[in-house]
Structures are given as structure tokens and as C-alpha cells.
A and B are shown apart, each in its own frame.
Chain A
Amino acid sequence: MSLVTKPGTRYRSAVDQTEIIVVKPAKGPIDLRCGGHPVVAIGTEAPTGLTLDPAFSAGTPLGKRFADTDTGLELLCTKGGTGSLSIGEVILAQKDAKPLPSSD
């Protein structure tokens, strides 16, 4: 299943609590998954009967960003969960925070 991502679009995991928002879209359609299964758009029903794939269960922490250099995709986790984000089978890397000096 492939998705065309748009900035601001929100998705949730089909198998755990994870919710994400697209910060930067991927260049083309991607097979975005969480916990080993395709994510679903917020507000739509998830397919039933799926379970968390142990290979994709390292967790997605709240407030962390995830990025994929190949596609340019960048995501922000808005609700933490036990599943890991991946494009296909490739787990997405957590982006290093480069905090700026606090200006306000």
C-alpha cells in the first residue's frame, strides 16, 4: 500500500497508540508503516485482526522526529506508541535534535 504524503497530514498506527504528522512530504508514494503494518489516516478505520510485528516494536517516542534521506520524508510523533516507523521493511531513523538557542 502506498501513500502520497502531504505536509500536515496525520496518520496513526493500525496496531498501537502511535500517531504522527507529516512535517516534510516524501518525493513520491511510500509504503509507510508502523509496527510492521501500513499506517492509516486519522479519522479512518484501521483493518482489524492485525498484531504488532516484534521486528518493528522498538517504539516511537512522543515529540521525536523521524526522517528518511532517500525520499526526503520527515515525520513528527504526536502520540507515542510501541510500534516502530518504517518505509516498507526499512526502519526510519530518529532525527538528531539540533536545538536552537531559546529566543523567546
Chain B
Amino acid sequence: MHLGMLLEMAADGMADRVALGPLASGLTFAELASRARRLGAALEARPGERVGLIDLNSPAVPLTLFGSAIAGKPFVPINYRLADPQLRAIVARTAPATIIVGEGVVERVGPVDGVEFLSRAEALALAEDPEGKEKDGWGGDADEIAVLLFTSGTTGEPKAAVLRHSNLTEYIISTVEFAGSAEDEAAIVSVPPYHIAGISAVLSSTYSGRRVVQLEAFDPVAWVHIVRQESITHAMVVPTMLGRILDIVEKDGKGLPSLRSLSYGGGPMPLPVIERAVGLLPNVGFVNAYGLTETSSTIAVLGPDDHQAAFASDDPAVRARLASVGKPLPTLEVSIRDAAGVEVPTGERGEISVRGGQVSGEYLGRGTTLDSDGWFPTRDEGHLDEAGYLFVHGRLDDVIVRGGENLSPGEIEAVLLEHPSVLEAAVVGIPNKEWGEQVVAAVVTSGGVTEEDLKAHVRSRLRSSRTPDHIQFREELPFNESGKLLRRVLRTELSEAFT
């Protein structure tokens, strides 16, 4: 299936529903579709094989996503927060292309061979122009590339993940019921357009018929304001966003009365934060989603019922599921494997591998990383429990090898976060002559706790080899704007501090 068909179906079946913006003045699905087809006609006629976007959230994001699909060109949303030289390098790799840009981007990037810039205002004008011709049809081949997403590159040169129309539409039609949203539902989108969650938010909302209200970029005050003003019912946040939202809600005591569903993902959520969220937002159903760019977003979900069951249970195994990412989607397979690629017994840790139609596992210019049976090795470490709940322990590349013993930073971080004074925690391995690597931690605390207290806390719950040799107290940890810990940055800083 093709992305254009998702929009065609929405425009056919829900023409007069508001798709984008405020209820009183937003664009309907019919208007969104006709504007996307006008922009599609214009983009098809413009130079370049791809359509880039370097901008904040605006109506240009869904219009360009669908417009590029209709034009038959891959959509390439690029991280506007990159430093100028990195941004220029990514733009050069996107050429030949037309790139839609927000304010100040052209000045930052400068001229690049094979790239034509189009301002957001120009793109929106092309989409709105009543004289503009609408491209015939809704786009073609499901095997063509729909979206190229540059990975965040926290561990090296960014790779361009390839998502084909078939990957994204498989994910949507298998997880979302067409027109399944009630007429009063609305989602706030505050994740950036270059994140897979930004892409899947547009597609899921379109197919389910849910109105979208965009925030140009995440800001906790604006987020809370929009949720209240626009009677937002659904939202997706990354862990760092949630804590900041809760601070505001707790302070003003007004709650978020319209909100029904809050999904979180994009990184491990500290248990105390989710416990606090459940306390402050008692009427909200919480959803923990786990997925990767290479898997077209979500591959496992811990739903509201699972959250409630875990909170209500005295059984440690059931309660522990709050720290899981739930069960894999029924339309795909998950297998936990050892280093030799052999499936491990239930309960044992290994590499999370996944197979299914939504899984791409392909990078531009590097080909596929799927094995001969179609499995994608995620490089994430995890295990499945007896009931089939998936637990994610972090990146395999982050595993600390101390004196021949493999230690998972996620396990030690989770224990640190259980301490009432610890707000954020990160554990990395740094080089050590005696052990190969030693365990060091960085924490943000609310005060009143010493390094010895925290070491004793970890030692009482885990083996002594897992107790950090050093703990650094900091004002903040280095996260990227998607809530992903910049481990490489932290490792460098801690190596300098402790060796």
C-alpha cells in the first residue's frame, strides 16, 4: 500500500472532519488532501529526486509528507538542531533535492550543489493556490522509498534509514482502525518532524480520523496550555518531556481534564516519573511504546490495562511489568538471541530481533541489515517474561565489560532511580587498567544524599561488581532533544573526570 492511499481513504471517508488545527478554523481531511495534491504536483515539477524539510512543526509537515508521496519522491525531514557543518553535510547527502526550510536555514547552510530551497511560506502558498493544479492520482508503487530518516548519530556518522511505503502502511493498517477515532478526539504533536514519532503521528491520526494540533517545538508551558485550550485527548511524549509537564501540572493544580491517553516512548522512563504521572493524572490511560526508526515506529505496547494491573498487583512479576514495554504487536515476531544468533530461553537476556512487514532495517547506500530469514537485529538488549512481556535493557553497544563480566547500564540505572533522591541517572563504562572497564555513574538528585549512600543503595540490591566505582553529581545529564541520552558525550566527560 502507498501513503497516498491512506490520505485518499481519509478524504473519502471523513471529508468534513477537521484534520489539522483548531476545531473552528482547521483544515478538513478533504482540504488537507487537495492541498497535498497541489503541493504534490508542484514538487513533482521541481528539480531534485527528493524532498527535504528543515523546519519546526507546521502544516507544511503533513502536507510535505503526503505531497512528496503523491509526487513520487522520498520525504527527508532533517534535524534543524544540528550544528551548521553537520547540517550542511546532511543537506549535501540529500541532494539532488528541493528542500523546504524554516527561517534562517538558508543562511546557515549556504548554497549546496543540486539543492533548491523553498521557504515554508512558499510551500504553503503552493498548497493553497486555488489556481494550482492537483496531481492526478494518489501516488504509485508501494516498494518505493517513502521517507528517509537520518539516525541521531549518537554513536557515529548518521545513517539514513530507508522506510518504504509498504513498511509504513503495514504499520498503520495493522495497528490503527480506519476512522476509529471519535469525532471529538484530538492529538497534540510536539515531537519534531525528523523523528519517526513525528511521521507516525501524522499517519496514525490521518487514518484514524483524529484531529492534530501541532506545537512548533516542545515547550512544557505551551504544551499544557494547548492541551487545555484545544481539549486535547491524546498525546505522545518522550521521558524528558513528561517530567517537565508534570512539574507544571503539579504546581498549578489544574490537571489535564480532557486528556485520555498519554503515550510515552523514545527512551527508558524512570519508574518514579510514571508513578508520579499516574498520581497527578488519574483519568489518563498510559501507554508505553517501544520502537525504532528502522521498524516504522512502535513494535511493542504496554497499554492502559497493563499499567493498571501492574499498579494494583502484589505479585512482583506482575508489578515489574511497569518497567516493561508490553507485548509485541500481534502482526510481528520478536525473538531474543545470543551473540551467535541462537534464540535464548524465556527470561534470559539477549539481542532483541524483530521480523514483520513494518520492519525495514535498511540504510541508504548500505543495503539491508536483515538476515536471510528477514530478522532485524535491533542492537537493543532485552528479555521476554513468561507471559510474553518484553523488557528492554539498553543498547548492546553500551554494555560494560568489567573483568570479563557483562554489565547492563540499564539495570544499574534502574536501581539508582529507585532511590527517592535520584531524579536522573546514567551509568557508563570507562577504561580501567585493572578491570578493562569500570562502572561509573552520573546522577541528578534532589539533594540530601551522598555518594556513599548511593553506592550502599546499589550494593544492597545488586552484586558489588555492579556498584559504581565513582558517582558524579550533576545539574543535568546530556540528552538530545528526543530524550536520548548522549552516552558517548557522558563517557568522554566521565573518563576525563575519573582517570
Contact = CB atoms under 8 A, between A and B. Distances in A.
Interface string B284-324: 01010101000001100101100000000000000000000
A61 to B, nearest CB: 9
A80 B9 CA distance: 9
Contacts of A103: 175, 236, 263, 265, 287, 289, 291, 297-298, 301
Contacts of A97: 177, 180
The interface residues of chain B, by DSSP majority, are classed as mixed
Interface residues of A, number: 19
Contacts of B8: 78
Contacts of B208: 102
A63 B263 contact: no
B176 interface: yes
Main secondary structure on A side of the interface with B: loop
Interface size for chain B: under 10, 10 to 19, 20 to 34, or 35 or more residues? 35 or more
Nearest to A101: B303
12 contacts: A8-B1, A8-B166, A76-B1, A80-B13, A99-B176, A101-B303, A102-B208, A102-B263, A103-B291, A103-B298, A104-B204, A104-B298
A62 interface: yes
B178 interface: yes
Q: Which of A62, A64, A80 has its CB near the most chain B CB atoms (within 10 A)?
A: A62
3 closest Cβ pairs, A-B complex = A63-B178, A103-B289, A101-B303
Interface string B268-287: 00000000000000000101
A99 B5 contact: no
Contact of B289 (A98, A99, A104): A104
B180 A101 contact: no
Interface of A: 7-8, 21, 23, 62-64, 76, 78-80, 97-104
A100 B329 contact: yes
Contacts of B50: none
B13 A63 contact: yes
Contacts of A78: 5, 8-9
Contact of B178 (A23, A62, A100): A62
B396 interface: no
Contacts of A102: 176, 187, 204, 208, 234, 261, 263, 287
